[in-house]
Chains A and B, each alone.
Chain A
Amino acid sequence: MNLLSDFLQQVTNGVAVGGIYALVGLGFVLIYKATHVVNFAHGEFMMVGAFLFYSFHDAWGMSYGVGAALAIALVGIVGGGMGRILSRSISDRQALAGVLVTVGIGMMANNGVRLVPGWGNDTRAVSTPFADQIVTAGTVVLSGDRLAIVVSCIVLIAALQFFLMRTRRGLAIRAMSHDRMTALQMGVPIPVTTSMIWAASTGLAAFAGILLAPAIFVHADMGYIAFHAFPAAVLGGFVSIPGTIVGGIAVGVAEELAGFYLPEGVKNVVPHAILLMALLLRPRGFFESPKIRDA
Chain B
Amino acid sequence: MSNTRIAGKAGILGGLGICIAVGVHILPDYLIAQLALVCIYALAGLGMVVVVGLSGQISLGHAAFLALGAYAAAILQALDVPFLVALPLAGAVAGVIGGLVGVLFARLSGPYFAMATIAFASLVKEAIVRWEQLTNGNLGIYLQDLSIFSVSIADDRRFFYLALAVLVLAMTVVAGLWSSPAGRAIGAVRDDEVAAKSAGIEPKYYRSAAFGISAALVGLAGALYAHKILYISPEAFGFGASLELLVIAAVGGLAAISGAIWGAFFVIVLPQAIAALGGYLPFLLEERASVQGFAYGAALVAVMLREPQGLHGLLIGVGRRLSGVLAARKAIG
> A residues within 8 Å of B by Cβ?
32, 36, 38, 40, 85-86, 89-91, 94-101, 103-112, 114-115, 227, 230-231, 233-234, 238, 265, 268-269, 272-273, 275-276, 279-280, 283-285
Quick one: closest B residue to A283, CB to CB? B107
Quick one: closest A residue to B305, CB to CB? A89
CB–CB A115/B297 < 8 A: no
Give the docked Cα–Cα distance between A260 and B104 (Å): 31
Chain B residues with CB under 8 Å of A89's CB are 305, 308
CB–CB A104/B111 < 8 A: no
Q: Given contacts A238-B111, A269-B126, is CB(A111)–CB(B297) below 8 Å?
A: yes
Give the docked Cα–Cα distance between A96 and B251 (Å): 10
CB–CB B123/A100 < 8 A: no
The smallest beta-carbon distance between A140 and chain B, in angstroms, is 30
CB–CB B116/A104 < 8 A: no
Q: Which of B22-30, B67-75, B175-183, B239-247 contacts A (4 or more CB under 8 A)?
A: B239-247
User: B119 touches which one: A100, A238, A265, A276 (CB < 8 A)?
Assistant: A276
Quick one: closest A residue to B238, CB to CB? A227
The smallest beta-carbon distance between A284 and chain B, in angstroms, is 6
User: B294 touches which one: A101, A115, A230, A269 (CB < 8 A)?
Assistant: A115
The smallest beta-carbon distance between B213 and chain A, in angstroms, is 19
Give the total number of A-B pairs whose CB atoms are below 8 A apart. Answer: 120
The smallest beta-carbon distance between A235 and chain B, in angstroms, is 10
Q: Given contacts A112-B294, A273-B119, is CB(A265)–CB(B52) below 8 Å?
A: no
Chain B residues with CB under 8 Å of A265's CB are 126, 129-130
CB–CB B112/A285 < 8 A: yes
CB–CB B297/A107 < 8 A: yes
Give the docked Cα–Cα distance between A90 and B291 (Å): 26
CB–CB A105/B301 < 8 A: yes
Give the docked Cα–Cα distance between A84 and B129 (Å): 43
Q: Given contacts A90-B308, A105-B297, is CB(A230)–CB(B291) below 8 Å?
A: no
The smallest beta-carbon distance between A89 and chain B, in angstroms, is 5
Give the docked Cα–Cα distance between A202 and B116 (Å): 25
User: B118 touches which one: A94, A101, A111, A230 (CB < 8 A)?
Assistant: A230
CB–CB B290/A115 < 8 A: yes
Q: A104-B299, A279-B115 are in contact. List 6 more A-B contacts (CB 8 A).
A: A97-B308, A112-B290, A115-B288, A231-B119, A233-B115, A279-B119
CB–CB A275/B116 < 8 A: yes
Give the docked Cα–Cα distance between A63 and B235 (Å): 41
The smallest beta-carbon distance between B146 and chain A, in angstroms, is 33
User: B112 touches which one: A94, A99, A109, A284 (CB < 8 A)?
Assistant: A284
CB–CB B247/A111 < 8 A: no
Give the docked Cα–Cα distance between A85 and B301 (Å): 11
Give the docked Cα–Cα distance between A275 and B122 (Å): 11
The smallest beta-carbon distance between A202 and chain B, in angstroms, is 16
- Chain B residues 109-161 with CB under 8 Å of chain A are 109-112, 114-116, 118-120, 122-123, 126, 129-130
CB–CB A276/B112 < 8 A: no
| Interface mask (B241-258 → A, CB under 8 Å = 1, otherwise 0) | 001001100110010000
Chain A residues with CB under 8 Å of B58's CB are 95-96, 99
B269 at the interface (CB under 8 A from A): no
The smallest beta-carbon distance between B185 and chain A, in angstroms, is 22
Give the docked Cα–Cα distance between A129 and B203 (Å): 57
Give the docked Cα–Cα distance between A272 and B60 (Å): 13
User: A103 touches which one: B109, B243, B293 (CB < 8 A)?
Assistant: B243
What are the nearest 3 A-B pairs in CB distance? Answer: A107-B297, A104-B300, A111-B293
Quick one: closest B residue to A230, CB to CB? B115
The smallest beta-carbon distance between A134 and chain B, in angstroms, is 34
CB–CB A103/B300 < 8 A: yes
Give the docked Cα–Cα distance between A273 and B116 (Å): 10
Give the docked Cα–Cα distance between A97 and B255 (Å): 13
Give the docked Cα–Cα distance between A45 and B116 (Å): 24
Chain B residues with CB under 8 Å of A234's CB are 111-112, 115
Sample of 28 A–B contacts (CB below 8 Å): A85-B305, A89-B305, A95-B58, A95-B110, A96-B254, A97-B304, A97-B308, A100-B247, A103-B297, A106-B297, A107-B296, A107-B297, A108-B298, A111-B292, A111-B293, A115-B291, A115-B294, A231-B119, A238-B111, A272-B118, A272-B123, A273-B123, A275-B115, A275-B119, A276-B116, A276-B120, A283-B109, A283-B112
CB–CB B250/A280 < 8 A: no
CB–CB B301/A104 < 8 A: yes
The smallest beta-carbon distance between A100 and chain B, in angstroms, is 5
The smallest beta-carbon distance between A195 and chain B, in angstroms, is 17
Chain A residues with CB under 8 Å of B254's CB are 96
Quick one: closest A residue to B306, CB to CB? A89
CB–CB A104/B118 < 8 A: no
The smallest beta-carbon distance between B15 and chain A, in angstroms, is 35
B194 at the interface (CB under 8 A from A): no
User: B247 touches which one: A95, A103, A114, A231 (CB < 8 A)?
Assistant: A103
Give the docked Cα–Cα distance between A290 and B309 (Å): 33
User: B122 touches which one: A38, A97, A272 (CB < 8 A)?
Assistant: A272
Question: Which of B115, B116, B298 lies at the interface centre, i.e. has the most chain A CB atoms within 10 A of its CB?
Answer: B115
Chain A residues with CB under 8 Å of B195's CB are none
Chain A residues with CB under 8 Å of B296's CB are 107
The smallest beta-carbon distance between B227 and chain A, in angstroms, is 29
Chain B residues with CB under 8 Å of A227's CB are 239
